[in-house]
Amino acid sequence: MISTVLRPFCRRLLDLILPPLCVTCKAPVRQVGEICDTCLPQLLQLDPPFCGVCGVPLRDGQTHGLHCTACLKTPPVFTTARAPFIYEGLVRDCILRFKHGDEIHAAPTYAGWMIVAGRDLLAAADLIVPVPLHRWRLFRRRYNQSALLAYELSKWSGKPCAPDLLLRVRPTPSQGHLHKKDRRQNVTGAFGLNPRYSGQLAGKTVLLIDDVMTTGATVDSCAATLLEAGAKAVTVLTLARVPLG
């Protein structure tokens, strides 16, 4: 009761001492984690047409109906992937700061955008699971940005979140410089099921959460682990999607 009364007061006091600033340009904003009205239109939204499976933005010559050529050639094991933004420009800056710059206060704002792009996926999900970090990387970074997004999505949707369901059973080098084939090899067998959840995935639709999807190799490897463990289907929601080269 006291905390309910005091919380708004404490927040106002904190706003006076440390006024909320735009995540990107540090201009004043109304609430912590917001992006100002100047920066907001600069975020590249991922509008149709996009691949009906992996959600990658489609351009002429890269499409076959509503599927990208990559999905036609090697269909992923996940059912659908969606993202609200293209991983370019300001979106890229925001995510790098979120991931490596401790700007975790933006997680509720980012999750709000993910809800808009993934409303159907959230509605169909039984469980929300983030892509895990290896424990050494988690130790160095102190937080898993994908788990923060998964928590927020769980809060908004009321769907349960299991941040420790997937384990990264072997460390994988950063994928930044790798080509698609090498990325797939890099993450094959990298994930495992936490034994605590053994037998609990039967018949469930799992929504996998990550910050960025590049070729889809990481989420596809996670999806394979979840399906092997009995999940009925795996869908994917990320904050941004790297466009085709």
Of 12-20, 52-60, 162-170, 219-227: span binding Zn ion (CB under 5 A): 52-60
- Least Å distance, CB 97 to Zn ion, is 12
How many Cβ atoms sit within 10 Å of the Cβ of residue 12?
Answer: 9
Residue 58 as a binder of Zn ion (CB under 5 A): the answer is no
What angle in degrees, to the nearest 10, is found between the helix axes of 180-187 and 217-228?
40
Of 28-36, 41-49, 95-103, 167-175: span binding Zn ion (CB under 5 A): 28-36
For Zn ion, which residue of 34, 39, 152, 154 counts as binding (CB under 5 A)?
A: 39
Residue 25 as a binder of Zn ion (CB under 5 A): the answer is yes
Instruction: Give the length of the chain.
Output: 245
**Window 104-123: contact mask with Zn ion (x via CB under 5 A):** --------------------
d(CA 205, CA 227): 9
For Zn ion, which residue of 53, 83, 128, 153 counts as binding (CB under 5 A)?
A: 53
d(CA 27, CA 20): 9
Residue 94 as a binder of Zn ion (CB under 5 A): the answer is no
Contact predicate 168/190, CB 8 Å: yes
- Least Å distance, CB 146 to Zn ion, is 21
For Zn ion, which residue of 21, 32, 36, 104 counts as binding (CB under 5 A)?
A: 36
d(CA 234, CA 165): 14
Which residue number, 21 or 104, has a Cβ lying nearer to Zn ion?
Answer: 21
Chain centre distance of CA 25: 23
Contact predicate 34/23, CB 8 Å: yes
- Least Å distance, CB 25 to Zn ion, is 3
Read out DSSP for 139-177?
Answer: HHHSS-HHHHHHHHHHHHH---B-TTSEEE-S-----TT
For Zn ion, which residue of 43, 68, 222, 224 counts as binding (CB under 5 A)?
A: 68
What is the contact surface with Zn ion in residues (CB under 5 A)?
Answer: 22, 24-25, 27, 36, 39, 51, 53-54, 68, 71
